[in-house]
Chain A
Amino acid sequence: MKKSLESILIKTKASRNPRGGFMKRYALVNLGNRKIEDYPVSDEEMMEFLGGKGLAAKILMKELPAHADPLGEDNILIFNTGVLTGTGTPTSGRFNATSKSPLTGGIGHCNCGGDFGTFLKKAGFDGIIIKGVSDSPVYIQIEDGKIEILDASQLWGLDTEKTQEALGEGGGKLVIGPAGENLVRFACIVSGHRVLGRVGLGAVMGSKYLKAVVARGNKKIPVGDQEKFREIIRVWTKILRENAITGYQLPSFGTAGLVNMTNATHTLPTKNFSRGSDPRAYELSGEFMAENMLVKNIGCRFCPIRCGRWIELDGKQTKGPEYETIALMGANLENFDLRKVARLSNLCDRLGMDTISAGGVIGYAMEATEKGLIKSDMKFGNVENLERVLEDIAYRRGLGDDMAEGSMRLAEKYGGREFAIHSKGLELPGYEPRRSVGQGLGYATANRGGCHLNSGYVVFFEATGTMQIDPLSKRGKAQLNVLQQNLFDAISSCGSCLFTAYAVLPTGIEEKVPPYSRYSALMAKAIESSGLLLSMQSKLPLGMLKFNIPFVPYPIAISAVTGVDYTLGDFLLAGERVFNLERMFNLREGFSRIDDTLAGRILEEPQNPEDSNTKVPLAKMLDSYYKTRGWDEDGVPQEEILKKLKLDWLIPLRKEIKERIKTASQNRLQIRKRHDETVKKILSLRRGGK
């Protein structure tokens, strides 16, 4: 390495006003009155939140009235970019979408790769905020500093593939399919080959009669210090290429390379999370895909990892399925035919539907059918009818109309809540938490609900990574979750891919210490015991960490791109700020401690009936988690935490939250029941009106 990362740190005490990274322009687009205006965002806000999901959470908190209907005209949908998006640092093709989720009722955000984020900046904007509801189908065109609302009558009804084709070549696109139009609560937004998958933001677009957003432009994205910027790209790319996961495993086998690992560690959700492994799982693996179907790797803009798969299927070349899809549409439904998983995955993309939630909902419906709660032809291991089931959901036909509401609402109607596998209404992804209890805590505390990314991905330490800690022990898990969640929120906000975090951790430890040895167990104990130190993290003056370290390249890249002196402490503090802000949003919307939970099966039924430890001991970990975060026993951030994070403006809200905390969840449910009627109202109005 010619120069180390430390040597390219900006040492001069620079101004806090960024000279690069941001286009310094947000637009507010009102689809109701068709008014388009600039939206003020200060330099300070941009640097405090790094753009992306953090800044979007602040805008949502400020602009969205409390208890707004997620599918009503008050809801706001924000598409924005992080400070690094589009600049050319490794994996900087990422952008964000944020809204109030129609699936959970809490904060809903998605981080996506592809081209849209880069083109949004090239069109001259860091982000757009969409409010109001159109009275006819429209799409938004953003081009070289100009925004137009255009007629989309000809596009309404098309699937996502045909919509993207109809919008023409070039630029970045966001489109919804029939699932979004029909307000399926887990409808996604498709962008090229990538997907803003979770929490139903496609339905928010559908509720606004917004079919697509297109961004085109040729503006230059400014960079604060060109020389240091070029060097950080070179060094960071080298780090990613030399790391075993980002440099070999992901390029060779894609995310599907996880299947064999989760299967071996019994963390592969199988038969609606009733098991964690199956002898047939190899045939779903990335290794199997590489041997039998892979044509080439595909990747997002600026990504040296290229984890995407391009496969041969039914005589055509097409996108290959990701790990999460394989877990939920494969093993979880006892479907061990990778080609069938790929077909279902591609159909979900065309219909515009999240594969994880779709797999979770179908898994619940199969078990409910088996138990006689639902009458249907769905059966574990039988995938022949699933294409029809997915279409029924997307078009809300028959039982599909109920399934389109997600597994939480489905179980409220038909029973069997203990095996409706979700947290806060969001279906759990591809890691069975009863063999990775820290991951279970992450699911329960993630602000967007049962999500592997917002949860902090502690399963990496418990099962899939090279450093292994005891997957069934409670020790240190709360502290590790907090550290990881904060780091992930900072990475997402700045516009990088979370997969770069793999390269933050050292690999090759197993080369020196046999993983099965007592030394390895002692090392794990040391990591678990570091929880004591990590438990201080919310009290530590992170802003005092005025230095950077070579293997955490993000703050170094932010320094180079913005020209602002930016340190590891600033970065970790930004992540903590984002997580706490999102928590405050959820508390405002009526979530409380009782919502930080998991399905009965996960908490009470041991995965291995002979080992009572194979379930998630949530209550004790949750106490420790709140303490580590500096939250009180109700899960509300203490005043001093809000002050430390420069979220003082939320202190009055904190007082209001505390006054009504005991009845918050009950009130939220009553409001939700009223909002749940909106789907029928909108669809009936549109059908009658057309």
Chain B
Amino acid sequence: MKVTVLFTGPIKSTTGVREMEMEAGTVKELIDSLNMKFGEKFKEEVKKTKILVNGYPVQFYEGLCKRLKDGDTVDFLQNWRIPNKESGVSNSESE
């Protein structure tokens, strides 16, 4: 299924893009593809990220098994946090 993926908050500095199109059947498949694409840093960051399908948090659906449809929007929304230089995670899009 072709879905639009949006990255908001500090996770955007890990992906380097705000928006992309991806193919995936479930949220888990989508995360696996993104892990492959963006590597270890993304894999760690995504654990601290809210995931919403068409605006609704996946944990209140079937979690990562949530099936995706053509045209769905999946938001990876990360709340801002105090920058931690030791973690090497950039927190700001404007830094």
Q: Which residues of A contact B (CB under 8 A)?
A: 242-245, 247-249, 252-253, 257, 260-261, 264-266, 276-277, 282, 287, 290-291, 435, 465-466, 468, 470-473, 507-508, 510-511, 514-518, 520-521, 524, 608
Contacts and interface: CB of A to CB of B under 8 A. Distances in A.
Contacts of A264: 6, 8, 50, 52, 55, 75, 77
B18 interface: yes
B51 interface: yes
A247 B80 CA distance: 10
Contacts of A282: 18
A518 to B, nearest CB: 6
A515 B59 contact: yes
Which of B9, B77, B83 has its CB near the most chain A CB atoms (within 10 A)?
B77
A252 B9 CA distance: 12
A435 B52 CA distance: 12
Contact of B8 (A261, A465, A473): A261
A291 B77 contact: no
Contacts of B49: 510, 514-516
Interface of B: 6, 8-9, 18, 27, 47-52, 54-60, 63-64, 75, 77-83, 91-94
A507 B81 contact: yes
B60 A244 contact: no
B50 A470 contact: no
Contacts of A465: 79
B48 A510 contact: yes
Given A252-B92, A260-B8, A264-B6, A516 B82 contact: no
29 contacts: A248-B83, A249-B80, A257-B80, A261-B79, A264-B50, A264-B77, A265-B75, A265-B77, A290-B92, A290-B93, A290-B94, A291-B93, A435-B55, A468-B57, A471-B56, A471-B57, A472-B60, A507-B81, A511-B48, A514-B49, A515-B48, A515-B49, A515-B59, A516-B27, A516-B64, A517-B59, A517-B63, A521-B59, A524-B59
Contacts of B27: 516
A521 B79 CA distance: 17
B77 A261 contact: yes
B54 A608 contact: yes
A287 B79 contact: no
Nearest to A522: B59
Nearest to A608: B54
A282 B17 CA distance: 13
A472 B94 contact: no
Q: Which 10 interchain pairs have the tightest Cβ spacing?
A: A266-B55, A521-B59, A264-B75, A249-B80, A516-B51, A290-B94, A515-B50, A244-B81, A260-B8, A514-B47
A633 to B, nearest CB: 31
Given A276-B55, A287-B93, A518-B59, A508 B6 contact: no
Which of A245, A261, A515 has its CB near the most chain B CB atoms (within 10 A)?
A515
A257 B54 CA distance: 20
